[in-house]
Amino acid sequence: MRLTLVLFLFFLLHNNASAKVILDKKIFYTELNGNIDLKFGYAFNQSTFGDKPKEKMSSCPNLSLRYLQRVHPSTQMGFFVKVDSPDVINSRTLDIKELDIGQGYFIIKNKGLGSIEYGRKGLVSQDMLINTSKICAAAGGVSGDWANYANLRGEHKKSDGAGYDKDIVFWVKPNIYSDYNGLKCKSGTSVISYISPEIYNFQFGLSYVPRENNLHYSNLIGAGLSYKGSLSEDISFIAAATGEFAKQNYTDEKECLSNPNCNNQLKHWNLGINVKCFNLNYVFSYGNGGNSGRRVNIVQGKEKKGEVKNTHYINAGIAYHSDFSKLSFTYFASGREIADSGTNELSSYAVSLEYPLFMGTSYYFDAIKFYTKEPKVHNNNSGYVFLAGLKLNF
């Protein structure tokens, strides 16, 4: 029934050939974008098809609108809104109340001075961050949501089901900034960002989260600096250094030991480079989160037990894009050093293929191999996840 609905939506939208509305008059600029990603996934472990995957199919529809109006020859003002709809396939009811404003912010843009954005939005450091998600095909390779299909922890934690977030000290998800130690972006957080124009190939961005206790920190700052260069028409590169910083939310170290919810200083940074050479893109990126995030598992008397000491990851990939196909190979490896329990490791490799079908649709295949190591419980696990899907863009 729900699938019928999705297919119906699909054909409805595709009868309208000019569905992506772009109004680009002298004064007004409007862009409307819609996406659905119908995904089917299956995971299996070392020996055979393992646990029943939690979700076999998913869809993540979203709709976004960008509006800009020229208020001065070199200045534009406007807004951007993105609505995320609940998963049409897995949700039982289709209720308008389940729609979520994923992003909504105001924009002021000046050609010479740069732009200011204010509202519900990610940090500019995360937008500028270079990693393989900038080049990846299909379901996003190692950055995608493949872990929702696999039991990463292995036999002893079988009942925990799929996903990264099964133990607050264990997995390092790509983009640890928003997901290490239970640190998650509160939706509704207002961020103010400044993005400079390009000056001698450099671009600078700064975000500030003004209110207290957002992302469990107050006065959080995100910043990024990028540099674009080119050797010839076909060979160019962009490099970026990005980071997020905030002070710890405790003043008394001793008092904090009895309160397991204290946050260490947030200090996460990433360096990335993307080299484009004809139809090929190469990306290399390194990130480090130090001991940022919540001080977990602190047992009185044993101050250091379970404390995260360091978190780091590397991410690399190569992608080929042409009019007929997109291919990418991506790699991610991370480690989280925990006092007295060694380093928990996660690595993954993905081969992703995507082919256009017609008018903004494409179909894809993603194959991911993962490997995990958890020295504390002397456990290693590995397995495969296969994803196949259909992307609709209107």
Ligand X SMILES: *[C@@H]1O[C@H](CO)[C@@H](O)[C@H](O)[C@H]1NC(C)=O
Binding site for ligand X (CB under 6 A): 35, 37, 45, 47-48, 50-51, 60, 62, 64, 82, 126, 129, 131-133, 142-143, 151, 154-155, 158, 174-175, 216, 249-250, 259, 261-263, 315, 332, 373, 378, 380-381
For the bound state, the minimum distance from the C-beta of residue 287 to ligand X, rounded and expressed in Å, comes to 7
Per DSSP, the three-state class of 125 is helix
For the bound state, the minimum distance from the C-beta of residue 5 to ligand X, rounded and expressed in Å, comes to 17
For the bound state, the minimum distance from the C-beta of residue 201 to ligand X, rounded and expressed in Å, comes to 21
φ, ψ (nearest 5 deg) of residue 12: -60, -50
Is the CB of residue 207 less than 8 Å from the CB of residue 119? no
Is the CB of residue 141 less than 8 Å from the CB of residue 328? yes
B/e letters for 12-40, b = 16+ CB within 10 Å, e = fewer, are ebeeeeebeeeeeeeeebeeebbebbbbb
Q: Which is nearer to ligand X, 198 or 255 (CB)?
A: 255
Q: Which is nearer to ligand X, 15 or 48 (CB)?
A: 48
Q: Which is nearer to ligand X, 60 or 271 (CB)?
A: 60
Query: How many Å is the maximal CA-CA distance in the chain?
Result: 68
For the bound state, the minimum distance from the C-beta of residue 299 to ligand X, rounded and expressed in Å, comes to 17
Residues in the chain: 394
Give CA angle at 271 (265, 277), nearest 5°.
165
Q: CB-side exposure of 253: number of CA atoms within 13 Å?
A: 3
For the bound state, the minimum distance from the C-beta of residue 348 to ligand X, rounded and expressed in Å, comes to 9
Q: Which is nearer to ligand X, 76 or 151 (CB)?
A: 151
Q: Which is nearer to ligand X, 31 or 236 (CB)?
A: 31
Q: How far apart are CA 119 and CA 146, in angstroms?
A: 30
Q: Which is nearer to ligand X, 197 or 260 (CB)?
A: 260
Q: Which is nearer to ligand X, 74 or 259 (CB)?
A: 259
Q: How far apart are CA 378 and CA 17, in angstroms?
A: 56
For the bound state, the minimum distance from the C-beta of residue 234 to ligand X, rounded and expressed in Å, comes to 26
φ, ψ (nearest 5 deg) of residue 160: -70, -20
For the bound state, the minimum distance from the C-beta of residue 84 to ligand X, rounded and expressed in Å, comes to 8
